[in-house]
Chains A and B, each alone.
Chain A
Amino acid sequence: MRNITYFCRLKFSTLSNFNVNDIRKQFPVLDQQVYGKPLVYFDNAATTQKPLCVIERERDYYLHENCNIHRGVHYLSQMATEAYENARKTVAQFINAKQPQEIVFTRGTTESLNLLATSLGQLLVGEGDKVVVSAMEHHSNMVPWQQMLMHRSVISTGAKRSGEISSNLLVIRMDKKGVLDLNHYEELLKQRPKIVSIAHISNTLGTVNPIKEMIAMAHKYDIPVVIDGAQSMAHQVIDVQDLDCDFYVFSGHKMYAPMGIGGLYGKMEWLEKMPPYQFGGEMVDTVSFEKTTFNKVPFKFEAGTPNVGAALGLETAVKFIQSFDRQEVEAYEDELLEYATEQLANIEGTRFIGQAPKRNGLISFVIDGVHPYDLGTIIDKIGVAVRTGHHCAEPVMTFFGIPGTVRASFAMYNTKEEIDIFVKAVEKAANMLR
């Protein structure tokens, strides 16, 4: 077995050493032209680009280590199993879980949330029971709960059909700045919902929710809390023990890791009680035609062959992030956000959607008299990649009374020069379209 150390080559310890040009060299995809113009990639909230070390790690797995895990007696299988379980350890340490077994590998945030809606739902939610989400959730943290609640009603009453409005999904209100109303949240908690599930950072508004406070509030009523961390893992230091959340879910591909891998952190006492989500190989203990007993946590939630190569890529991505001074990266990304906000504000008719005092990673806006789709189409031609539309959060758009927004989202490899190109492109497009 080749013993390769995959920690990334970049190691910065002081503020003056943060060199974005060195970081960009780790991301070959950034160094290209689209329509003859240098690519400005501001769609990081959809997916981040991958550094060379992550790409090489996954490639290396297939070159030298590929094997199915947990079941082979032979050398390669044992090595691959060890590598996969080490990746679990690295991820656990990264978010300060008490033990590696509290990390379940999934395909990403969406699968993690579906797992919870199914399994935790089965454990806790009966007919007429309620679940709390917030008004700014991504569809992934809303539809699984909504459908699970509807399914409960359909089964128990036989009368309601799926597609009907569920009154059991309680929604925390927000104000026009994109800040959640905690008084309303308290009111909802008094209705004794069975589960609370909220985003750490909103993918449309950039709002950083006060999750620690919100978790504590729910715990006063003994209600478990799920945190959707899809937008936070790449940007903020996460400590699940300090937050005291019951579950924290995330996607690898939004934190410099490959697609197809993500995770679910759950407190051991919950994971032990929860029923399996999918059935098949690996997740079983003993099987007969009459009866099956299940493997222990986390394996009982990992049916079938997992994406081992991507899990190793995720581990490398974690090490890549850890190779930086996190505060420094956060400060740099905040600086980008602030600069972009200032510059965009100079364009006539710009309206920011989401003006919470605490925002992170992205900026969402509309320009009066200009459809977001038109704007996105024009600036694409200038080489700028942003997301336009409802960002999988249609209720948020309905709330603000707009068809969609333009969303620019940043990563550590973006620069102020790119923001200048972006702002000029927006200005040019707005002038063409108005």
Chain B
Amino acid sequence: MTAALLEIRGLTKHFPVAGGLFAAKGAVRAVEDVSFDLFPGDTFALVGESGCGKTTIAKMILGLERPTAGSIRFKGVDIVNAGRTAMLDYRSQAQAVFQDPYASLNPRLKVKTIIAEPILAHRQERGDVLGRKVAELLDTVGLPASAAELYPHEFSGGQRQRIAIARALALQPRMIVLDEPISALDVSIRAQILNLLADIQEEFALTYLVIAHDLALVEHFSSRVGVMYLGGMVEYGPTEAVYANPAHPYTQALLASVPRPDPDHQPPEGMISGEIASALAPPPGCKFNPRCPRALPICASAVPTRVSPRAGVSHWASCHLLSQNTNT
């Protein structure tokens, strides 16, 4: 079994509410005890609806937020408590592309500065060599070399996202975190960018961590998926396995609710009710239990453990129903 590139264990993040000079009054439990592995060459998708914590996890992995508890290890090295040199080294291997192509690029900088920024931060190259590197990167993402001298506002959304991807590639990273990389783009442009991401993944042997809410996209694009609900991971496994046999009621409801371009498809009723609870006061026991159509009495008191519906496949879900069925 290959070693994991990224190991997440017990990752937790609470945001204090009403902080400041006085003690916090409460906390938003954005992420609660999440563990998973990212293997080299994988495309791992974190899916979930608003408030599930997937973006917060991405930020912690990128070192933009500090976890309240838990560990993040990249190639075995602890990232959370890393010193400056270790962090800089990590940053040269872990890059990101964010959702909004209009906010990702500093409007006052030329494209060449934007793309070269990671290289400049690591003091790797200068001058002509740098210029050639930038031209190469622009070519890789399908933009002409002349784009280097222009400013972001002269490009469309799809082109800006290409620039953002070029910047992410600048240091030849091992892993790229993609936070909703195409959801802010026009429908007819999305496929272009998706295909580009697939191509460069193959060309540069990249590992992707994708944050997404579009389940059809995730099925198409990812090899492994983790389903998040209100801060916790409720299901994890290879995409095919999870989509073919969703074990957790929430995953089942999600998949059933995805709109399909099929006029005769109607989502079945009664799979999910009510609204997502607040992360300030999540329900006790299983967080999904108030909305679950098949909740058991135990669900309101005890947090479910991970159970694999079938042995031998690394596919698990946190659900009491499964523990019952598989007879622990």
Same assembly: no
